[in-house]
Homo-oligomer: A and B are copies of this chain.
Amino acid sequence: MKLDFWFEFASTYSYPTVMRIEELAAARGVELSWRAFLLGPIFKEQGWDDSPFNLYPAKGRYMWRDLNRICEGQGIRFQHPSTFPRNGLLAARVACQFATAPWIGDFVRAVYTANFAEDREIADPETIADCLSALGEDPATILEAAASDAAKGALRVQSKEAKDLGIFGAPSFSVKGELFWGNDRLEQALDWAEDPA
């Protein structure tokens, strides 16, 4: 069965998920659907104009330490970003418009690595262009398509779909309307995709 993977490029806990989800899904024969969305508008409706990790400092301090432990356990690089959260709008438009491209997984991992391992500004089109070039893709063509009205509208529609599913954070996973939230629910979501109760 298909697993919808909902991610937001600014989301810290989406980083360890992004780095392992494709391999785990493939190993179980679960079809993976990459669903980029924007959390900002959802947070705004809850009265938050910033990441809850900035608004609630104790929670934020814990999250960075926890993320550090998770990345260490998973063997992936981690560097505390000098800016948080970073604006992932451009990356999300690319990921939404090219969700079924053969390079989508590599692209998403490259952007998260830029943000959370290399401390690069993913709001900068140059960073996104570098991520695409490194995959052997043509940044100019892709960034032009991502700037089209169709691509902008598609991300808006997809973000609304996330909200309508009851999504309030990232990463989230959905399997036929059943919702799972958080990097530590990935295995359970994959179980569900294999054998929905």
Point out residues on A near B: beta carbons under 8 Å: 46, 56, 58-59, 61-62, 65-66, 69, 166-169, 179-182, 184-185, 188
Contact = CB atoms under 8 A, between A and B. Distances in A.
Contacts of A58: 166-168
Copies of this chain assembled into the complex: 2
Contact of A56 (B62, B167, B168, B184): B168
A70 B167 CA distance: 19
Contact of A168 (B59, B69, B181): B59
A144 to B, nearest CB: 36
Given A59-B169, A62-B181, A65-B179, 7 more contacts: A58-B166, A58-B167, A58-B168, A62-B166, A62-B168, A66-B181, A182-B184
A180 B70 CA distance: 12
19 contacts: A46-B56, A56-B168, A58-B166, A58-B167, A58-B168, A59-B168, A59-B169, A61-B166, A62-B166, A62-B168, A62-B179, A62-B181, A65-B179, A66-B180, A66-B181, A66-B185, A69-B188, A182-B184, A184-B184
